[in-house]
Amino acid sequence: EKPNEKWLTDVTEMKYGASQKAYLSAILDLYDGSIVSYVLGTSNNNPLVFKTLDLALEANPEATPLLHSDRGFQYTSPAFKRKIEKGEMIQSMSRVGRCIDNGPMEAFWGTLKCEKYYLNKYSTFEELKKDIEEYIYFYNHQRFQKRLNGLSPVEYRAKAA
C-alpha cells in the first residue's frame, strides 16, 4: 500500500570474461517494483548481501519493512538475523523448494537479463558493472510500467509521497 512496507531480496549470477562470475545482490520494493539498493561483486557471500541491506537502510532511514528472501546461506545466517533485528524489520523467507515465493524478485532478474545482460558479451567486470548501473537507473527512472499506470517506479513513488 505504501513505499518501504515490503522489500524482496536475492542474488543472481552473471558471467564475464572467459569464465569469471559476478554476483548481483539487490533489494526490490514491492510497492512500486523499484530497486532500492544493489551491489555487484565477485563473491556470493555475506558481505555482498549485508552491504546491499546497509545501502537500502541508508537510503531509507525510517524504513522498517518486512524483508523477504529465499533460504540462501546469507539470509539464514545469525549475522543477517541480527541486522534485521537491529533494523526493526520482520524477516520472511520462501518455503523450501518454492522459488515462486520470491516471484517479483525473480521476475526482475529475468527482465534485467533479457533487456540488457543477454544482449551483450562482457569482457571485464567493469563493463558488466557499467551496464548494470545504467540499466537499474533506466529501470527505476525511465522504464514505464503498465501496472504503475504508465509511470516509472520513481514517478509512481513520488506520487505516493
CATH number of the domain where residue 41 is located: 3.30.420.10
> Do the domain assignments include residue 133?
no
Buried b (16+ CB within 10 A) or exposed e, 121-154: ebeebeebbebbeebbeebbeebeeeebeebbbb
Residue 97: band (very low, low, confident or very high) from pLDDT cuts 50, 70, 90: low
Residue 99: band (very low, low, confident or very high) from pLDDT cuts 50, 70, 90: low
Q: Which of 1-10, 23-32, 35-44, 91-100 has the lowest mean pLDDT?
A: 91-100
> Do the domain assignments include residue 41?
yes
- Domains held by the chain: number: 1
Domain of residue 83: give its range: 6-104+118-126
> Do the domain assignments include residue 113?
no
Calculate mean pLDDT across residues 12-34.
97
> Do the domain assignments include residue 77?
yes
Residue 102: band (very low, low, confident or very high) from pLDDT cuts 50, 70, 90: confident
Which three cell numbers, joined as nine digits, stand for 60? 531509507
pLDDT averaged over every residue in the chain = 94
Residue 1 DSSP class: -
> Do the domain assignments include residue 139?
no
